[in-house]
Amino acid sequence: MENRMRLEFDAVSVNESFARVAVSAFFAQLNPTVDEIEDVKTAVSEAVTNSIIHGYGEKEGTVVVTCTYHDKDSEVVVIDEGVGIADIEKSMEPFFTTKPELERSGMGFAFMEAFMDEVSVESEPLKGTKVTMKKRFGERKLEE
């Protein structure tokens, strides 16, 4: 089974929870475990929050989230057209943050990596950032 959806919304913090719910409602079609769906929610929350805080610096902008699945293989892509990241490798180090004044923990990318199977980041300064995350949901018995 295959399916896809694309979600576009204003880069405002109230939409962080909306994005989580929409993405988890979509992947609910795969009959995931609670833990699997919470993993995806957390990862989506990290990427969307980053676009809002870092990408757009809490100014106006649009965040795009696309979700697709093919059988049990899911993919989530989060895109912004914000400031971009100059040094992707450094930004992905745990505890690295450019906004300590906002009490950011620098754990965002670490969480995405911990909760998804694969995370890749493409970014260009002043162009924006694209985070691609993959997760394979476990095979489960069909509910009766």
Partner 1 sequence: MRQSYQCKNGQLIVEMPKEIDHHCAKELREDIDRMIEISHVRVLVFDFSQTEFMDSSGIGVLIGRCRNFGYSGGSVQAVHLNDRVKKIFMVSGLSKLIPIGTEQERAGGRVDGE
Ligand X SMILES: Nc1ncnc2c1ncn2[C@@H]1O[C@H](COP(=O)(O)OP(=O)(O)O)[C@@H](O)[C@H]1O
116 CB-near residues (< 8 Å, 6+ apart):
39, 40, 43, 76, 133, 134, 135
* Residue 105 binding partner 1, by CB under 8 A: yes
The pair phi, psi for residue 75, each rounded to 5°, is -140, 135
Helix (H) / strand (E) containing 44: helix 34-50
* Residue 36 binding partner 1, by CB under 8 A: no
Compute the least distance from the CB of residue 65 to a copy of itself, in Å.
10
Residue 16 binding result from a copy of itself, ligand X, partner 1, none, given CB thresholds of 5 to 8 Å by partner type: partner 1
- Judged by beta carbon, residue 26 or residue 56, the one nearer a copy of itself is 26
Please give the DSSP secondary-structure letter assigned to residue 23.
H
State the pairing for strand pair 73-80/2-10.
unpaired
**Does residue 104 carry a catalytic annotation?**
yes
- Judged by beta carbon, residue 25 or residue 102, the one nearer a copy of itself is 25
Catalytic-labelled residue, pool 16, 20, 36, 46:
46
As a whole number of angstroms, the distance between CA 102 and CA 3 comes to: 38
- Give residues in contact with ligand X (CB under 6 A): 46, 50-51, 54-55, 80, 82-85, 91, 96-99, 104-109, 129
